[in-house]
Structure 1
Amino acid sequence: MTQQKTTQQATAQQKTLPLDVWAGTSALLFDLDGVLTPTADVHELAWRRLFEGYLAQAGRGPAYADSDYFDHIDGKPRFDGVRDFLASRGIVLPEGPEDDSPEHETVHGLGNRKNAVFTGIIEEEGVAPYPGSVRFIAAAEARGLKLAVVSSSRNAPAVLRAAGLAGHFPVVVDGAVAKAEGLPGKPDPATFRRAAELLGVPPAECVVVEDAVSGVQAGAAGGFRAVVAIDRGAGEATLKAAGADVVVRDLDDLLPDRTGTHP
């Protein structure tokens, strides 16, 4: 009787989960920043420092606002983020060479300046993965699922190493891979599709895990089994409107032995 009651309770708890992420899934395709590591916060800070300084130096306005990161930058390849933010201010700059000096007032110069700020913060402060994401990765590996990271950042391998996660992801499709292979960035689904291809898993058996609107849009457009969105600030309604099948506060909300409550 006690065993039956325990089984019934477990079944009831399973039904309260927002998505049975395991059924019909062979692979998980994770964004990195804001999904596995809190480096999205570092990216946001680096972008703020870049554009606050640039706008003040150039005497252009309006000033950088909190909403600018999510409206124009979040989830996009670095140089696309520069272009789109500048466009929001009516600013057009020359492209410059891709390895342009961070001191130069060009699209690539500003993008490289932002990268220098980001790497400086990581080197000084380090990075720790989200505990809930670590638990979720362990649960996925225990079930034999294949794992990949799909990130617009060219710093993805370095961040994975710093966070102690590199060994879990045999496939990493980052900004450098996208550039080398001519893959368009998010919200195009090409980088997620490439990761699925490298894992040898059809998109219909892959679940995309994202926190950025552009990444959710990419997942929704790619014919994947489902798109899980983690709300790290974009907002549940916004993420669902972008195409998320489910929005959670943390990845361990999807584990059947978790209550789904977080401080």
Structure 2
Amino acid sequence: MTHVLDSQAVLFDLDGVLTDTAAVHRRAWSALFTEFLPSVVPDAAPYTDADYFALVDGKARAAGVRSVLASRGVHVPDGAADDPPDAQTVHGLGNRKNVRFTDIIRGDGVEVFDGSLRVVDALGGAGIPMAVVSSSRNAVLVLETAGLLDRFAVVVDGVTAEREHLAGKPAPDMFLTAARSLGVDPARTVVIEDAVSGVEAGNRGGFWVVGVDRGTGVAALVEAGADEVVTDLADLLAGGNSG
């Protein structure tokens, strides 16, 4: 077990780790697929939160769309990243989901987990650099809305991944890019993740990985490679709870 205050740096996932926006993502994905799937496969199994955790959570938007469609035997063209939200393409569906997500964020704001804020405050007070590593293309919007953007020296998100041609989670590329930007050793750096794909990415990158159980389940996080699992990040300041 490690202690975050003894690390060279800490790399946070965003949705579900720092902010309660994972719940907003779940709402937006559910609205999308509850409407779309019956229109193409009338007898398709209903989309549920279990699909979110198994097929979508932590992945780039287009990858999440592909995973859900494949699970129902549905194929649509990939299209292009700038497809309009009404396009019947992978990117069109992803952009339709994003419209729903941003509408909710702009209307309801962003909730920051209290325990996560305590950890960010403690790390900032100790002078330990922090980064956000998120598959979301909305990471900067969410951080700005939450008032957190200036707390992080580096943000590696879905926009960065596209610009720099980085493989998305569960590949370790995004975390390794953040570590290089901070000038730190992955072996002495902590990754904090709530998604199986993110935990796997951190593990594959050689980081110490803390899994946060926000509904994925301790067993799934440990199986993916979490070195320890907590239910609240504040547990890390008290020594943590082993997974």
Q: TM-score range by the shorter chain?
A: over 0.9
1:82 maps onto 2:33 in alignment? no
Local SS of the residue matching 2:5: coil
| Superposition pairs of residues 54-93 of structure 1, within 5 angstroms | 54-60=36-42, 61-93=44-76
1:96 maps onto 2:70 in alignment? no
Tell me what 1:234 maps to.
216
1:215 maps onto 2:171 in alignment? no
Instruction: Write the distance in 1 (CA, Å) between the matches of 2:97 and 2:198.
Output: 21
Tell me what 1:175 maps to.
158
| Superposition pairs of residues 38-187 of structure 1, within 5 angstroms | 38-60=20-42, 61-187=44-170
Instruction: Write the distance in 2 (CA, Å) between the matches of 1:20 and 1:59.
Output: 49
For residue 97 of structure 1, report the CA deviation from its aligned partner.
1.6
Instruction: Write the distance in 2 (CA, Å) between the matches of 1:259 and 1:202.
Output: 22
1:249 maps onto 2:231 in alignment? yes
Tell me what 1:13 maps to.
none
Instruction: Write the distance in 1 (CA, Å) between the matches of 2:56 and 2:213.
Output: 16
Instruction: Write the distance in 2 (CA, Å) between the matches of 1:193 and 1:252.
Output: 25
Name the amino acid aligned to 2:3: D
Gaps of 5+ in 2: none
1:199 maps onto 2:189 in alignment? no
For residue 59 of structure 1, report the CA deviation from its aligned partner.
3.6
- How many residues are treated as equivalent by the alignment? 240
Residues 145 and 259 (structure 1), Cα distance of their counterparts in 2 relative to 1, 3 Å cut: closer
For residue 247 of structure 1, report the CA deviation from its aligned partner.
0.5
Name the amino acid aligned to 1:163: A
For residue 241 of structure 1, report the CA deviation from its aligned partner.
0.7
For residue 203 of structure 1, report the CA deviation from its aligned partner.
1.1
TM-score (norm. length: structure 1): 0.88
Tell me what 1:4 maps to.
none
1:20-72 residue CA offsets vs partner (Å, 9 max, x unmatched): 2333x110000000000000000011000000000122244111122100111
Gaps of 5+ in 1: 1-17
Instruction: Write the distance in 2 (CA, Å) between the matches of 1:113 and 1:63.
Output: 19
Instruction: Write the distance in 1 (CA, Å) between the matches of 2:78 and 2:166.
Output: 19
| Aligned residues of 2:26 and 2:49 also touching (Cα < 8 A) | no
Alignment root-mean-square deviation, CA? 1.4
For residue 19 of structure 1, report the CA deviation from its aligned partner.
4.2
Local SS of the residue matching 1:227: strand
For residue 165 of structure 1, report the CA deviation from its aligned partner.
0.4
For residue 184 of structure 1, report the CA deviation from its aligned partner.
0.4
**Percentage identity across aligned positions?**
55
For residue 128 of structure 1, report the CA deviation from its aligned partner.
2.0
TM-score (norm. length: structure 2): 0.96
1:169-202 residue CA offsets vs partner (Å, 9 max, x unmatched): 1200000000000000000000000000111112
Instruction: Write the distance in 2 (CA, Å) between the matches of 1:217 and 1:146.
Output: 22
Q: Which runs of 4+ in 1 moved over 2 A?
A: 18-23, 56-60
